Amino acid sequence: MGSFLACQAWRLHYKDVGGKKLGQRSVCLSCNKQLKWYDNIPIFSWILLGGKCRYCKKKIGMMEILAELLMGLAFLGVALALNPFEMTLLGKMIFVLDLLLVTALGFLAIYDGMWGELPSFMLVIALVLAAGVAGCKIWLYGFSLPMLWNLLGAVAILGGIYLVLYLVSRGKWVGSGDWVLGLIIALSLSEAWLALIVLCLSNCLGLIIMYPTVRKKKNQKIYFGPFLVMAFVIVLVFAKVLNGLIFKQLMLK
Ligand SMILES: [Zn+2]
């Protein structure tokens, strides 16, 4: 799935910038040579080729291998955390919607990380999937006022803060898609406490991973999407552990 998304991101980007035409088969973006099937095997081909094109020896780039590895880990994590075999039908539906959402967000993270844009058609798809997850959760646990407050709290923390930052800075501090991405993540988690962890974790990840780049080059723009998505997947996978932490604290008090 990671390999597929990375490939689709390139195809969409090339279509959008109206540059070179990409054929049906995958080609090297540098020498345009058509790739053999054995050079397209996720993770293995990249490693066997040493991250370079077989023909022109130009570097393939880190995004491809990162997308393949991280997407694999994300699917493994979600499957282990939300074991679909022990679930009711509604639980299974949430599991499928969550996997589709992780896929849509993976695409957005790749596109944002590479070109600093969040394609709106994919934001809409992810928003519909996230609303579906929130709807299924309300259906599963039954509607209650505390639940609604919890959901609205999550939306305010992730969607609201980025919307305010966007409006106050007129798009200078954060991009226009970031608050929608926050809203999507908030809806699918439906819990204020988990939304708060995503907010902190994404900023920490961004700070740690981008620190060397920013130190070398001042005024460097950081695209925040990949870090928001990474933090979301980590919180989704460890939601039970994280919820256990706060509920234990509340019980002690
Ligand atoms: Zn090449």
Say how many Å lie between the CA of residue 6 and the centre of ligand 1.
17
Compute the distance from residue 18 Cα to the ligand 1 centre, in Å: 21
How many Å lie between the centroid of ligand 1 and the Cα of residue 61? 12
Residue 61 is given by DSSP the state: -
Q: How many CB atoms lie within 10 A of CB 115?
A: 15
User: CB-based burial of residue 96 (10 Å sphere; 0-12 exposed, 13-18 middle, 19+ buried)?
Assistant: middle
* pTM, rounded to two decimals: 0.91
3-state DSSP call for residue 173? coil
Rounded to the nearest whole angstrom, what is the distance from the C-alpha of residue 68 to the centroid of ligand 1? 20
Ligand 1: centre distance to CA 40 (Å): 13
State the average pLDDT over residues 112-127: 94
pLDDT tens sequence across 198-234: 999 999 999 998 888 888 877 777 788 999 999 999 9
Would you state the torsion angle of the CA atoms of residues 153, 158, 160, 164, taken in this order, to the nearest 10 degrees?
Answer: 150
Q: What's the gap in Å between 191 CA and the centre of ligand 1?
A: 47
A 10 A CB-CB count for 131 gives 15
pLDDT for position 79: 92
pLDDT tens across 24-75, in order? 678 888 888 888 999 989 999 999 999 999 999 999 989 999 999 999 999 9
**Which among 39, 15, 17 has a CA at the least distance from the CA of 28?**
39
